[in-house]
A and B are shown apart, each in its own frame.
Chain A
Amino acid sequence: MRRLLPLLTLLCLAFGPLPALSQSLEALIRQLPEGSFSDRAEVVAAIAATLDERAVGVLEALGEGDLHQRKADGAILKVTGRGSKARAFDPLTGEELGPVPARSTTAIKVNNALRRAVRSGIATLTLMHRDPTRRLAAANAAFQSADPDQLEALGAALAAEQDASVAEAIAQAQAAALLASDADPALRVEAIETVRARGGRDALAVLTPLRASEVPLIAEAAAAAVAEIERSQAMWARAQNVWFGLSLGSVLLLAAVGLGITFGVMGVINMAHGELIMLGAYTTFVTQELIRGHAPGLFDWSLAIAAPLAFLVAGGIGVAMERGIVRHLYGRPLETLLATWGVSLILQQTVRSVFGPTNREVGNPSWMSGAFQLGEMTVTLNRLTIILFALVVFAGLLVLLRRTPFGLRMRAVTQNRPMAAEMGIRTGWIDAMTFGLGAGVAGLAGVALSQIDNVSPNLGQSYIIDSFLVVVFGGAGNLWGTFAAAFSLGIVNKFLEPVAGAVLAKILVLVFIILFIQKRPRGLFPQRGRAVEA
């Protein structure tokens, strides 16, 4: 079927209009809601074949599921927004037609096959578009569909193309389409070289089936090209693994660094640490809801606004916990453990009662969505942002602890409490602030984790064990130890995962840490000095 559609298109272009295709764009659009998905895919192809610039908007709206049919007169509308905010537009001119009463229209259904037809139709329509990025996207889509029937259109586009990088993409699309045809074997061997030069998974998808070609020359060339691309992919795979490891490490670091302060520096076994992370995530949710309701324009800034709020909310609860509970239990680790665990259950159930047990939707700001290619490596923007965020938070903490009067007092109190008190430091106040700082940082982690994990009352539970592992492995009391432990565990995990599978990788890491702690009970970077013996 997919082969046939562009063929029809080409026939139409070559031999004048066919009856079904001779209709105007307006008439074709009216047929969009009718018939089976494959009938409608033909209508989409016919719309693309009009080469009418206005058709691009229509197909885009169809692909997005925004095209509706008005029940009263069968008119096709583009509808954006839902419920009372729904507004109708003319799909061809984009002219606004006013609000849409509820249930007065039915959405035109699309499925994956139809969406593919739409994608290929948009590619045909935009190969000669004014905007070079649109032309590039069209060329890449044409490469993926690798359709011999597009050869002519691609040739015409290539001849007219001025931009070198777009021309290259079109040439590659042309080569891919050529390979799917039964052109002269010599030409096709040449095309294999062009596709090989492109590299990457798309190229593999085109070349792999050719290894089974009946023409020995092509089969050989394809096998050699596939082997070469796979070699370079294997090399990049290692870089990709390191990247994944860094990204997992940054998540571990964010989750653990707050605990590195409350548990590592202060020695409080804080079982509610995960729930403080969860509160940070819920603060992000509430902030986003408020922004959606009152200032939608600020949505891209929602995380920047949520971060300080999350710090304050989680930090505030941390201070309250320290003043209310933890300070009465210093020196009694078992009771601290049980009390903070109780707090964690209370926080969880409170959130469950207030926000419900189901997941809450936290959106990605537009600048955090998507990915870019670095060589053969996919770098997703949200992971990159989280790595940078983790580094900034960590650097900020280091500066705070090492370079500020508060940090000095904090270190003094944790190292020698009576002496610090003698020097006039309000140790109780410092304890509360330190605990609040650790809790606040957990809140910051929640803001970041809301972008990659689901925001539910259970969010914290999945991070508490990992956090303790990281802090213990790195050596309690040493933030650099936490840093090194987070990233080394992340990378080791990601190198084990492809070999051993996700389940076994997790177990292996755990076994490794247990053995390591047997050998070096104080972790990677043990704290030295009198404080240890105290």
Chain B
Amino acid sequence: MIGTALAGALAGLPAFAQEEPIKVGILHSLSGTMAISETTLKDVMLMLIEEQNAKGGVLGRPLEAVVVDPASDWPRFAELARELIDGQEVDVVFGCWTSVSRKSVLPVFEELNSILFYPVQYEGQESQRNVFYTGAAPNQQAIPAVDYLMDEEGVERWVLAGTDYVYPRTTNQILEAYLKAKGVAAEDIMINYTPFGHSDWQTIVSDIAAFGSTGKKTAVVSTINGDANVPFYKELGNQGISAEDIPVVAFSVGEEELAGLDTAPLVGHLAAWNYFMSVDTPENDEFITAWHEFIGSEDRVTNDPMEAHYIGFNMWVEAVEAAGTTDPDAVIDAMVGVAVPNLTGGISSMGANHHITKPVLVGEIRDDGQFDVVWETSGLVLGDEWSDHLPESADMIADWRAPLACGNFNVATGQCGGVTN
């Protein structure tokens, strides 16, 4: 389809001249539908690598970024992952956005025994030895957001609206089980799926308004993905549904998505993330300043998956320094337990299940496209790979430390390999 842009950039300093560089693969779509979200992640990786090289690289060797463009084409992700690991011999890959792209590269990373850092919030129900999940699992985003609406806003009726693919379907399945366990009746839950890029929201918004007119406080939990959000919010505004009446809490809408939107009708709608650009900490100030300097524009925003790469990259650097080598097996073993500062003032650490600890923040959209944090968890929450709210995964855990070293250990049967998905 679109030719692959295979670009290698050696950003080394003269001091490294004799040392062989460590190659870092970046596997994010730079064209096609996902370019809107993924291009920024490529840029932030280049920035982090440049900063690390300025600090003297890793193990005294410079880092070299190898950027490829899978062009939002899922099979292409697998091909390019193979090219990066086999052809370019990279030592680690940072990449993927959609769950389907991650699923398509998993077998490659397993077969060639390399390391992938995946920075986006996802549906969970997975833990793989070669993958480190630095985005949120459902218990780090969806469940706390629902708790907030239930406790603080007194919501009794729920609309679960999502795009029709694996992340919304699994998340909504977990949420539905969770809400029912909390005593919400089946008739108080409405589930709605729409195709990718859905642009005509009139019927659905009108259905939501009708669903919300029974006198019980109603909220929408949105797993609507990507571009479809813009017309959805526009239609909400046009039909006069304000956040005071029916708030929408979204898991895929961040600063980057709001940047292309007239935010006036969205004020007060919510998003749950582990990071907001508006968080006021010295680490975040420094990160934003560095980002603006690197990208050459004061208007560019930062967002949650960027923070996930920031954390993931620093963890990888720590682990490589600790292992003293870039050998995948040694680095994978060294990763568990590594702790680095995140941008919200805490220390995130890597769990034995290859998920990290993060704070959960609920923010309300402001009219300048940023978020006001209105609620946050008291401490950091570890990502729960196998949801406790679904019967098929309630007994499952992942622990990649020896001697267990299993991504789907069933504590009820005492056996590894109880996966049914």
Tell me the number of A-to-B contacts counted with CB atoms below 8 Å: 157
Question: Which B residues are CB-close (under 8 A) to A361?
Answer: 259-262
Q: Indicate with 1 or 0, residue by residue over A370-388, a CB within 8 angstroms of chain B CB atoms.
A: 1100000010111100000
A53 at interface by CB-CB < 8 Å: no
**Chain A residues within an 8 Å CB radius of B35:** 352, 357, 457
Instruction: Choose, from B88-96, B237-245, B308-316, the stretch at the interface.
Output: B237-245
Cβ-defined contact, B209 with A201, below 8 A: yes
**Nearest B residue to A64 by beta-carbon distance?**
B367
**How far does the Cβ of A155 sit from chain B's closest Cβ, in whole Å?**
23
**Quick one: which of A356, A461, A501 contacts B192, CB cutoff 8 A?**
A501
What's the Cα separation between A397 and B2 when bound, in Å?
Answer: 36
Interchain CA distance A241-B244 in the complex, whole Å: 27
* Residue pair A503, B195 in contact (C-beta under 8 Å): yes
**B187 within 8 Å of A by Cβ?**
no
* In the complex, chain B residues 348-385 whose Cβ is within 8 Å of any chain A Cβ: 364, 366-368, 372, 374
A residues 344-363 with Cβ under 8 Å of B?
345, 348-349, 352, 356-363
Task: From the candidates A144, A204, A360, A502, name the one contacting B198 in the complex (CB within 8 A).
Answer: A502
Residue A112 CB within 8 A of the other chain: yes
Q: Are B193 and A111 in contact (CB under 8 A)?
A: no
- In-complex Cβ contact of B206 among A109, A240, A251, A349 (8 A): A240
CB < 8 Å neighbour of B202 from A209, A244, A360, A381: A244
Main secondary structure of the interface of B (DSSP, over half): loop
Bound-state Cα–Cα, A486 to B36, Å: 30
Most buried by A among B31, B215, B259, B366: B215
Determine whether the beta carbon of A381 is less than 8 Å from that of B262.
no
Q: What is the distance, in angstroms, from B24's C-beta to the closest C-beta of chain A?
A: 22
Q: In the assembled complex, which residues on chain A have CB atoms less than 8 Å from the CB atom of B18?
A: none
In the complex, chain A residues 145-203 whose Cβ is within 8 Å of any chain B Cβ: 201-202
**Is there a chain B Cβ closer than 8 Å to A78's Cβ?**
no
CB of B33 within 8 Å of the partner chain: yes
State the CA gap A362–B230 with chains docked (Å): 11
> Nearest Cβ in chain B — how far from A106, in angstroms?
10
Task: Mark A84-102 against chain B: 1 for CB-CB distance below 8 A, else 0.
Answer: 0000000000000000000
Complex partner residue of A352 from B31, B207, B247, B366, CB under 8 angstroms: B31
Q: Are B153 and A113 in contact (CB under 8 A)?
A: yes
Interface size of B in residues (CB-CB distance below 8 Å): 59
A358 touching B256 in the complex, CB below 8 Å, given contacts A65-B366, A244-B202, A371-B240: yes
Distance in Å: Cβ of A214 to nearest Cβ of chain B? 16
Question: A393 vs B214: C-alpha distance in the bound complex, in angstroms?
Answer: 42
- The yes or no answer to A506 lying at the interface (CB within 8 A) is yes
Measured between beta carbons, the chain A residues less than 8 angstroms from B32 are 458
- Report chain B residues within 8 Å CB of A241: 203
B321 at the interface (CB under 8 A from A): no
Are A378 and B240 closer than 8 Å at their CB atoms?
yes
Q: Which of A54-62, A402-410, A448-456, A471-479 lies at the binding interface?
A: A448-456
User: Would B202 and A458 count as touching, CB distance under 8 A?
Assistant: no
Q: Across the interface, which residues of B come within 8 angstroms of A461, CB to CB?
A: 33, 197
A371 lies within 8 A of B2 (CB):
no
Take A109-B372, A111-B374, A204-B213 as given contacts and tell me if A497 and B203 are in contact as well, using a CB distance cutoff of 8 Å. yes
* Distance A64 CA – B199 CA, assembled complex (angstroms): 28
- A371 surroundings in chain B (CB, below 8 A): 238-240
Contact of B193 among A112, A119, A503 (CB under 8 A): A503
B259 contacts which of A208, A209, A359, A458 (Cβ < 8 Å)?
A359
Q: Is the CB of B195 within 8 A of A458?
A: no
Q: Do the beta carbons of A251 and B247 come within 8 Å of each other?
A: no
User: CB distance A358 to B244 under 8 Å?
Assistant: no
Q: Tell whether A271 is near chain B: CB-to-CB under 8 Å.
A: no
**Structural contact, B240 and A209, CB atoms closer than 8 A:** no
- In the complex, the answer to whether A455 meets B153 with C-beta atoms within 8 Å is no
A206 within 8 Å of B by Cβ?
Answer: yes
B185 to chain A, nearest CB (A): 13
**Contact partner, A456, options B152, B227, B235, B374, Cβ 8 Å:** B227
Question: Which chain B residue has the least Cβ–Cβ distance from A210?
Answer: B215
Chain B residues whose CB sits within 8 angstroms of the CB of A110 once the complex forms: 372
How far apart are B326's CB and chain A's nearest CB, in angstroms?
32
Chain B residues, CB < 8 A from A201: 209-210, 212-213
Does residue A462 face the partner (Cβ distance < 8 Å to B)? Answer: yes
- Kindly state whether residue A530 has any CB partner on chain B within 8 Å: no
Q: Which residue in B39, B206, B247, B261 is a CB contact (below 8 Å) of A112?
A: B247
Check B238 against A380 for contact (C-beta < 8 Å): yes
Residue A498 is within 8 A (CB to CB) of chain B in the complex: yes
Report the Cα distance A382→B36, complex, angstroms: 26
Query: Complex formed: what's the CA distance from A303 to B250 in Å?
Result: 31
In the complex, chain B residues whose CB is within 8 Å of the CB of A119: 244
Assess whether A205 is in contact with B213, with CB atoms less than 8 Å apart.
yes
Query: Cβ of A458: which chain B residues have Cβ within 8 Å of it?
Result: 32-33, 36, 197, 227
Q: Does A25 contact B (CB under 8 A)?
A: no
The reply to whether the CB of A411 lies closer than 8 angstroms to some CB of chain B is no
Report whether A112 and B231 are in contact in the complex, using a CB–CB cutoff of 8 Å: no
Give A495's nearest chain B residue, CB to CB.
B203
- A-side contacts of B260, CB under 8 Å: 358-361, 454-456
Partner of A205, one of B194, B215, B372: B215
A369 on the B face (CB < 8 A): yes
For residue A115, CB closer than 8 A to chain B, the reply is yes
Interface pair B204/A502, CB less than 8 Å apart: yes
Chain A residues with CB under 8 A of B164: 503
Restricting to A468-501, which residues have a CB under 8 Å from any CB of B? 494, 497-498, 501
Using an 8 Å CB-CB cutoff, how does the interface string of B29-41 with A read, 1 for contact, 0 for none?
0111101100100
Residues of B within 8 A of A501 (CB): 192-193
Contacts A112-B268, A204-B214 given; indicate if A349 touches B364 (C-beta within 8 A). no
Contact of B267 with A by CB under 8 A: yes
Residues of A within 8 A of B207 (CB): 498
Bound form: Cα–Cα A333–B219 in Å: 51
The answer on a CB contact under 8 Å between A452 and B203 is no
A268 at the interface (CB under 8 A from B): no
Residue among A359, A380, A494 making CB contact with B227, cutoff 8 Å: A359
- Jot down 5 A-B pairs with beta carbons below 8 A, ordered by A: A244-B202, A357-B36, A369-B265, A454-B227, A456-B227
Counting from the closest, the 9 A-B pairs by CB-CB distance are A359-B260, A454-B230, A201-B213, A380-B238, A357-B35, A209-B215, A208-B214, A244-B202, A502-B194
Chain B interface residues toward A at CB < 8 A: 2, 30-33, 35-36, 39, 152-153, 164, 192-195, 197-200, 202-204, 206-207, 209-210, 212-216, 227, 230-231, 234-235, 237-240, 243-245, 247, 256-257, 259-262, 265, 267-268, 364, 366-368, 372, 374
Known: A206-B215, A452-B235. 11 other contacts (CB 8 A): A112-B244, A204-B214, A244-B200, A244-B203, A352-B31, A357-B36, A361-B260, A371-B238, A378-B209, A456-B260, A457-B35
